[in-house]
Structure 1
Amino acid sequence: MQFSRANWKRLRLTGDQRNVCYPHSLQFYLEPPSESISLIEFESLAIDRVKLLKAVENLGVSYVKGAEPYQSKLESEIRRLKFSFRENLENEYEPRRKDHISHFILRLAYCQSEDLRRWFIQQEMDLLRFRFSILPKDKIQNFLKDSHLHFEAVSIVLY
């Protein structure tokens, strides 16, 4: 049996099809990725995700989580590593794809021990918390609806 690179096809999505895969910059990672990637891309995605989660950890130690310096430094780190973090940005398919695939790569790598699992979950929760905090209000409602989470907004009551 002979395999040639000319016969390999890579999934290419255009326009609206890309938005169907990743409609939000925020994900719950419910479905594992189904596409094939090269070993080089696999390694690169894993390294970038580890760098991102290490930055989340280091910034969480150095700054108060949720404070302005923490937010701005984490945002610049996410931007530097080319991960998805904001809604309404053009050409968001690749950063969202990178985010999705790299999450599952590290999920596999960090399931080896309870300590690694705990560290991974904590950093992913902090990253999710950050991304959720910067979502515009209308996008929060869309994300919750698309994620099948039904919540009613609570009005502020002042006494």
Structure 2
Amino acid sequence: MEFNTSFESKLEIDSNYEDGAVITSLDFAHNLQFYETPPTVNMDYRPAVDLAIQRHQVLLAVEMAGRRFPKFSENYMKFLDGQLREINFQIAISSSYASGQATSSILKQRQEDAQSHFLLLIAFSETFQDRQWFLQQEVDLSHFRILCERNASIRDFLSQNNITYESISEDEKEHQRKELFAGCHSAKVKYFKKMKKLPPEEEAIEQRRFVMQWEFYKVPFKESVALL
């Protein structure tokens, strides 16, 4: 997909940007983001375009990785990691610091991550095909980034966004393993090592990424955030 630079004329960017704009740790407390609210800081025109172009290169790399390898396989992860390093999109290949320990450089990268996301959202908003492409690459990028995070960091992210979950006990895991083994004779039982209970989600059901039981589904820990 070619990048259409005509999106530049659609962006309303304040050219009177002040370098003294304050970025606080509360604004971007984690490398991972849900991109719920566009950043309100003003930007110079040229830096905004540069951020958008870089984000487009990132999404093209995500698309290329998905075409070359099974998504989120070992080869996929290695390839995309290398591509993102070449593009210098460091925020996607660095695990978050513990709460309150982010440097000013990390906070700036988190802010630019959010800015570039919304700039591309504008650029790819005209047609259904463009919107669909943008959404798919962003979802895959987020999934990749989650898999690169430490479990403790993911728990911080869930807590910061007021998302609660219930861990499954060892007895329940073993009971579930026996039931699945009896039904499909699968020996790959490590899948249930870190499962969580979450509210049901139709798309996740269709993709068979978890076990559905009563009003809950059970899913590996890192998959839980990807489903969100």
Q: TM-score range by the shorter chain?
A: 0.7 to 0.9
Give the Cα separation in 2 of the matches to 1:105 and 1:70: 26
Moved beyond 6 Å, runs of 4+: none
Deviations 1:27-85 (CA, angstroms, capped at 9, x unpaired):
10011011111110011011000000000001100011111121122122223333312
- With over 3 angstroms needed to count, the CA separation of the structure-2 counterparts of 1:150 and 1:41, relative to structure 1, is same
Is residue 19 of structure 1 aligned with residue 25 of structure 2? yes
Opposite residue 11 of structure 1, the aligned amino acid is G
* Residue aligning to 2:53: 47
Q: Is the 8 A contact 1:63 1:70 kept in 2?
A: yes
RMSD, matched Cα: 2.1
Q: 2:18 touches 2:42 (CA, 8 Å); kept in 1?
A: no
Query: 1:142 maps to which residue?
Result: 156
Residues 11 and 35, structure 1, Cα contact 8 Å, conserved in 2: no
Query: How do 1:1-159 and structure 2 match up within 5 A?
Result: 9-13=18-22, 18-83=24-89, 84-85=91-92, 86=94, 87-88=96-97, 91-155=105-169, 157-158=173-174, 159=178
TM-score by length of 2: 0.61
Return the structure number with greater strand share.
2
TM-score where L is the length of structure 1: 0.85
Supply the AA of the counterpart residue of 1:99.
D
Unaligned 5+ runs, structure 2:
1-14, 179-228
Q: Which of structures 1 and 2 has the bigger CA Rg? A: 2
- Identity among equivalent positions (%) equals 30
CA distance, structure 2, for counterparts of residue 104 and residue 131 of structure 1: 18
Amino acid across the alignment from 1:101: Q
Q: What secondary structure, in the 3-state scheme, does the structure 2 residue paired with 1:21 have?
A: coil
